[in-house]
A and B are shown apart, each in its own frame.
Chain A
Amino acid sequence: MAETALATAPAAQAQKIPVIELRNVSKTFGEVRSLSGVNFAVYPGEIVGLLGDNGAGKSTLVKTVMGFHKPDPGGEIYFHGKRIDDWSVARARALGIETIYQERALCEKQPIWRNMFMGREPRNRWGLLDVKRMRSESARLMSEHMGFTSAAVHPDNVVTTMSGGEKQGVAITRALYFDAELVILDEPTVGLSLTETKKTLDFVSGIKKAGKSAIFIDHNIFHVYPVVDRLYVLDRGKVAGVYNKSQISMDDLIDRLYRVARTGTLE
Chain B
Amino acid sequence: MATETASAKPGNNRIAPPSALRRHGSQLGIIGVGLAMWLSFVIAAPAVFTNVNIYAAFAQTTPQFGIIALALTFVVITGEIDLSFPSVMALGTAAFCLVTAYGGAPWYLGLIVAFGTGALCGLLNGFLVAKLNIPSLVITIGTSFLYRGLELVLMNGTGVPLTADKYPEMHRIFREPVFGFPVQTLWMIVIGIALWVLLNRTRFGAHVFLVGDNPTSARLMGINAVSVKTRAFVLVGVLAVFAGLLTSIYGYYFWPTTGDGFLLNTIASVFLGGTSVFGGTGSVVGSFVASYIIGAINAGIVSAGINAFYTQLAFGFVIVISVVLQTIIERRIRRQSLTGR
Residues on A lying within 8 angstroms of B by beta carbon are 63, 66-68, 88-90, 92-93, 99, 101, 103-110, 114, 118-121, 123, 127-129, 131, 151-154, 156-158, 160-163
Q: Could you say which of B46-54, B62-70, B212-220, B304-312 contacts chain A?
A: B212-220
Question: Which are the 8 A-B pairs with shortest beta-carbon distances?
Answer: A154-B17, A89-B222, A107-B213, A119-B221, A90-B222, A105-B220, A105-B217, A160-B337
Q: Could you say which of B106-114, B197-205, B240-248, B289-297 contacts chain A?
A: B197-205
Tell whether, in the assembled complex, residue B333 and residue A160 are in contact, meaning their CB atoms are under 8 Å apart. Answer: yes
Tell whether, in the assembled complex, residue A152 and residue B15 are in contact, meaning their CB atoms are under 8 Å apart. Answer: yes
Other than the given A89-B220, A118-B217, A152-B15, 11 more pairs (CB < 8 A) read: A107-B210, A107-B218, A108-B214, A109-B213, A118-B218, A121-B206, A127-B202, A129-B205, A151-B5, A160-B334, A162-B337
Tell whether, in the assembled complex, residue A129 and residue B14 are in contact, meaning their CB atoms are under 8 Å apart. Answer: no
Tell whether, in the assembled complex, residue A118 and residue B219 are in contact, meaning their CB atoms are under 8 Å apart. Answer: no
Tell whether, in the assembled complex, residue A157 and residue B17 are in contact, meaning their CB atoms are under 8 Å apart. Answer: yes
Tell whether, in the assembled complex, residue B210 and residue A110 are in contact, meaning their CB atoms are under 8 Å apart. Answer: yes
Specify which chain A residues have a CB less than 8 angstroms from the CB of B299 in the assembled complex: none
Given contacts A105-B220, A109-B280, are A154 and B16 in contact (CB under 8 A)?
yes
Residue of chain A at shortest CB distance from B2: A154
> 0/1 per residue, B164-203, Cβ < 8 Å to A?
0000000000000000000000000000000001001111
Specify which chain A residues have a CB less than 8 angstroms from the CB of B341 in the assembled complex: 163
Tell whether, in the assembled complex, residue B218 and residue A119 are in contact, meaning their CB atoms are under 8 Å apart. Answer: yes
Q: Does B223 belong to the interface (CB within 8 Å)?
A: yes
Q: Does B85 belong to the interface (CB within 8 Å)?
A: no
Tell whether, in the assembled complex, residue B210 and residue A128 are in contact, meaning their CB atoms are under 8 Å apart. Answer: no
What range describes how many residues of B lie at the interface? 35 or more
The contact of A123 among B16, B197, B203, B223, by CB within 8 Å, is: B203
Tell whether, in the assembled complex, residue A161 and residue B336 are in contact, meaning their CB atoms are under 8 Å apart. Answer: yes
Specify which chain B residues have a CB less than 8 angstroms from the CB of A89 in the assembled complex: 219-222
Distance of B103 from chain A, by nearest CB (Å): 37
The contact of A156 among B18, B216, B223, B280, by CB within 8 Å, is: B18
Tell whether, in the assembled complex, residue A110 and residue B209 are in contact, meaning their CB atoms are under 8 Å apart. Answer: yes
Tell whether, in the assembled complex, residue A158 and residue B202 are in contact, meaning their CB atoms are under 8 Å apart. Answer: no
CA–CA, A35 to B197, complex, Å? 44
Tell whether, in the assembled complex, residue B200 and residue A129 are in contact, meaning their CB atoms are under 8 Å apart. Answer: yes
Q: List 6 A-B contacts (CB under 8 A).
A: A89-B219, A109-B213, A110-B210, A119-B221, A127-B202, A151-B15
Tell whether, in the assembled complex, residue B209 and residue A107 are in contact, meaning their CB atoms are under 8 Å apart. Answer: yes
Specify which chain B residues have a CB less than 8 angstroms from the CB of A153 in the assembled complex: 15
Specify which chain B residues have a CB less than 8 angstroms from the CB of A106 in the assembled complex: 214, 217
Specify which chain B residues have a CB less than 8 angstroms from the CB of A151 in the assembled complex: 5, 15-16
Which residue, B16, B23, B214, B280, has most C-beta atoms of chain A within 10 A?
B214
Given contacts A157-B17, A163-B341, are A128 and B214 in contact (CB under 8 A)?
no
Specify which chain B residues have a CB less than 8 angstroms from the CB of A67 in the assembled complex: 222
Specify which chain A residues have a CB less than 8 angstroms from the CB of B205 in the assembled complex: 129
The contact of A114 among B5, B201, B210, B224, by CB within 8 Å, is: B210
Given contacts A68-B219, A105-B221, A109-B281, are A129 and B15 in contact (CB under 8 A)?
no
Specify which chain B residues have a CB less than 8 angstroms from the CB of A152 in the assembled complex: 15
Tell whether, in the assembled complex, residue B221 and residue A118 are in contact, meaning their CB atoms are under 8 Å apart. Answer: yes
Residue of chain A at shortest CB distance from B9: A151
CA–CA, A68 to B224, complex, Å? 11
Specify which chain A residues have a CB less than 8 angstroms from the CB of B218 in the assembled complex: 107, 118-119
The contact of A158 among B18, B203, B220, by CB within 8 Å, is: B18
Tell whether, in the assembled complex, residue A107 and residue B280 are in contact, meaning their CB atoms are under 8 Å apart. Answer: yes
Tell whether, in the assembled complex, residue B213 and residue A93 are in contact, meaning their CB atoms are under 8 Å apart. Answer: no
Specify which chain B residues have a CB less than 8 angstroms from the CB of A118 in the assembled complex: 210, 217-218, 221, 223
Specify which chain A residues have a CB less than 8 angstroms from the CB of B219 in the assembled complex: 68, 89
CA–CA, A151 to B336, complex, Å? 20
Tell whether, in the assembled complex, residue A101 and residue B220 are in contact, meaning their CB atoms are under 8 Å apart. Answer: yes
CA–CA, A106 to B220, complex, Å? 9
CA–CA, A108 to B210, complex, Å? 9
CA–CA, A256 to B218, complex, Å? 38
> 0/1 per residue, B221-258, Cβ < 8 Å to A?
11110000000000000000000000000000000000
CA–CA, A11 to B334, complex, Å? 53
Tell whether, in the assembled complex, residue B197 and residue A128 are in contact, meaning their CB atoms are under 8 Å apart. Answer: yes
Tell whether, in the assembled complex, residue A128 and residue B221 are in contact, meaning their CB atoms are under 8 Å apart. Answer: no
Residue of chain A at shortest CB distance from B221: A119
CA–CA, A131 to B203, complex, Å? 11
Distance of B194 from chain A, by nearest CB (Å): 12
CA–CA, A107 to B337, complex, Å? 14
CA–CA, A89 to B16, complex, Å? 35
Distance of A123 from chain B, by nearest CB (Å): 7
Distance of A126 from chain B, by nearest CB (Å): 9
Specify which chain B residues have a CB less than 8 angstroms from the CB of A127 in the assembled complex: 202
Tell whether, in the assembled complex, residue A121 and residue B203 are in contact, meaning their CB atoms are under 8 Å apart. Answer: yes
The contact of A103 among B15, B201, B216, B222, by CB within 8 Å, is: B216
CA–CA, A20 to B132, complex, Å? 32
The contact of B222 among A119, A129, A161, by CB within 8 Å, is: A119
Distance of A77 from chain B, by nearest CB (Å): 16
CA–CA, A158 to B18, complex, Å? 9
Tell whether, in the assembled complex, residue A129 and residue B206 are in contact, meaning their CB atoms are under 8 Å apart. Answer: yes
